[in-house]
Structure 1
Amino acid sequence: MSTTRHEGAYLVTGGAGAIGTAICERLVDMGLSVVVADANAQAAEDVAGRLKCDYVTVDLRDRASVDAAVETVVQEHSAIRGVVNCAGVTRLMDFFEISTEDWNWMMDINALGTMHVMQAVGSRMRDAGAGGSIVNVASIAGKGYRQTSNAAYAATKGAVLALTKVAAIQLAPFDIRVNAVCPGPTNSPLLNVHNTPEAQGRIAEMVEHVPLRRFSEPSDIAAAVAYLLMANAVTGQSMNVDGGLVFD
């Protein structure tokens, strides 16, 4: 990580992925100090180098790794003003194919990892007394979208949505806002889990069910994240970015 100091940073987990990178780009364009966090050190360094911002490597499954990453960001930037929990994993599986190992892999990164970051960052925001903003990238899968990659992934995102709502209430006394963005099918490598020989035509079928007749782009998700990060009167909400697939 660089030694450049700024007054407050915005941490983006999964920041080297397609959606995470788009979020980092959007926040940098807004003039914010951004820290790219990712398990892939080289990918994080590459994104940070291109955007001229900082990066940290982190294993979201390991609370000690998360605490160390957050401590590094605070030391370099004095404070964390906001965090975007964008890291996530999945793969295409039938309901009866899901193993305990699959469940734990997705739950540990998608749900437990989000909780780790929220606790580590939230405690810093609380102690600093300046408030803050947390945006969790969930999914319409957590709201029952029928063409999700697998049921376990949907369960992890449902957990993120429940966590978002309860945390919004419990962190409100500290002026910490917590919201979620729920992408639908998005043109990113994660969508490729559907593009297997066994699932030919699945993506075309998915598009046909989108009212706007197109998938979202990573930049669409980034725009929603940026809004919720800065929306001072909004907390406990989940915003669908899915072309009209799901109505709450």
Structure 2
Amino acid sequence: MAICQTSLAFWLDLYPYRGIRPARLPDRETMNIPNFKKLFMPDISADAASLIHAIASATAVIAALIAASAMIIAHMTSDVKNQQAEVPVSRGAQAVTVVHESDVQARLEIEQLIEQNDALRAELEREKAERLKLEASLKPRALTPQAHDAFKALAGELKAKTLAPVVLLNIHKDDKEAVRFAKEIAVALTKAGVQVQIKQLPLQKHNTGTQVVVYAGVGGDELEQAFKTADFASDIKRSGQSPRVKVDDGDAIAISAFISVYPRSEI
């Protein structure tokens, strides 16, 4: 039993990946590749690929340790039962006492192994979550089939109620992935009968994800319901204001919603 515990501790000491933190996403120069395919499907950097491989390797090691712990626990439980079965009845009270002491000690050791096994399982779940988070961050954002269905339903409502809301879409030209996603949103809204006005506004520090503000303008309720159903934004807020925005050299127009597509969230 001491050998099994020593072996388990030895393998835990070899696990080097607990403190790894993901690398940052590729910078602008790395992503500025004049290739249509790479624009929509950006290459994964060597550091990111190495990190994914490291997390996967660590996950495999932890899974192997969990399997080994389960085998040890099963073996110890079997030994305890065998010891109890092998004690002759004729040895009397002394033999029973020895068996009880041995049984208590074995159960304590089993409980310790179970605790270690639970800790390994928790670590495995953390490693899996970290890997999935990293992999998701490397994929470009895109509207889901659920989002497209929500915008199709919005088109039917706006047409039936003869509404033509105006949405201001904020695009940040310095982030190619954000620009591509913003354009996809603009196309979907336009097909739904929404008037989309695009502006390039300065990027504020620490702003990430897609943020939406719905105002008290034309079709505000319909837009809010469609946005929530589409589930494409990280934050959707409702405001009682009805702002007007001047687009180009024309007159100021009232907008029903303001959408800002910022860079993806950093890990």
TM-score range normalised by the length of the shorter chain: under 0.3
TM-score using structure 1 length: 0.22
Greater share of residues in helix:
2
Greater share of residues in strand:
1
Structure showing greater radius of gyration is 2
